[in-house]
Structure 1
């Protein structure tokens, strides 16, 4: 791919050891291999057949890793045109089935008609501080299935405020990154 600044590796599943081209974009921060390995170990019992949403997808490493490990589908949402092109190229080159790419801003995307997802990857650009508005739109907009899993990546030392019915399942840190997996408890009507 022209303009690629590097490559990252898919670490498990059918696409194991495949490489993703990473465009040279300011603020693009692919989730580290060891964090993805930990996350997908946590998700192993629920990933097969999951409907996933990869908000602020960037390289799409989280969503492609999910497809590689048996997720039924992944809706990728990314606003940067170069990242969208690289993501579409990577999906086509790897023949990854079940991935769709929406060239949208995440907040705008979540104003559309909701489709509940069982697993959401919430890893916005750190400088934009989008965790709270995105989490609120996910929860209030009908985007989360009952019992959905939500992965949140943020700067170390900054645990974003999430809706009160998201319960922390597991969390960790790696370098300057905090990562956490939450489980949604459906609110009582």
Structure 2
């Protein structure tokens, strides 16, 4: 795995072991995501929920985010995030929280009174067994995030109004089998402005590790 652009462009970071339950976002999907939101990182704090390897939050830092909060409940994944943060020397701009993402959002998201860039990459299985929890999390974020904040949600399924609150305020894009939905609070709710057209970037292939409920994914 590598950092795609910015201050740490080309730097390698550690991915999960072959036996790990984490499914990282592919480099190509991560690149497509940040082609849309990368320029928005300066002046925002990145929140990497279901952080997994920490690749999303680290990419945000490389592209100028003021800081990053990594939220992950799996102990091995948290250790990996610590190692990757140290490898890129981002300790002074990073907070790593070993916590359940759903509970952390309810308890702490409203406390961050500055523009945020919130990235969510739940295990894809969550969309089958925990769709109501994902929707409740998004409802809470949309209601409480401060002006200038944005959300990027990754899924391996069609995203519709059963998951996304106020569907028309989201910009949903497809990259192979992966969907990413963007939401921006900027002078009123709305989609990401002037974003590039949809691209076809391959998602994780059939040989990717099976998704599980326990760890984060990014």
Instruction: Spell out the pairing of 1:1-189 with structure 2 (5 A cutoff).
Output: 8-24=1-17, 25-26=20-21, 28-96=22-90, 97-113=92-108, 114=110, 115-116=112-113, 117-129=115-127, 130-140=133-143, 142=144, 144-159=145-160, 161-164=163-166, 167-169=169-171, 171-184=172-185, 186=188
The verdict on how the C-alpha distance between 1:168 and 1:136 changes in structure 2, with shifts beyond 3 A counting, is closer
Structure 1 length-normalised TM = 0.83
On the 8 A contact 2:3/2:12 being kept in 1, the answer is yes
Q: CA deviation at 1:40?
A: 1.4
On the 8 A contact 2:44/2:149 being kept in 1, the answer is no
On the 8 A contact 1:23/1:82 being kept in 2, the answer is no
The verdict on how the C-alpha distance between 1:91 and 1:180 changes in structure 2, with shifts beyond 3 A counting, is same
The verdict on how the C-alpha distance between 1:94 and 1:13 changes in structure 2, with shifts beyond 3 A counting, is same
1 CA distance for matches of 2:153 and 2:15? 21
2 CA distance for matches of 1:110 and 1:45? 25
Q: How many residue pairs get matched?
A: 176
Please report the RMSD computed on the Cα atoms of aligned residues, expressed in angstroms: 2.1
- Which has the larger helix fraction? 2
2 CA distance for matches of 1:167 and 1:158? 13
Q: CA deviation at 1:166?
A: 7.2
On the 8 A contact 2:13/2:87 being kept in 1, the answer is no
Q: CA deviation at 1:124?
A: 0.8
Partner of residue 4, structure 1: none
* Contiguous gaps of at least 5 residues in structure 2: 128-132, 190-218
Secondary structure of 2:65's aligned partner: coil
Structure 2 length-normalised TM = 0.73
On the 8 A contact 1:122/1:131 being kept in 2, the answer is no
> 1 or 2 for the larger relative contact order (CA 8 Å, sep ≥6)?
2
* Contiguous gaps of at least 5 residues in structure 1: 1-7
- Which has the larger strand fraction? 1
Q: CA deviation at 1:46?
A: 1.6
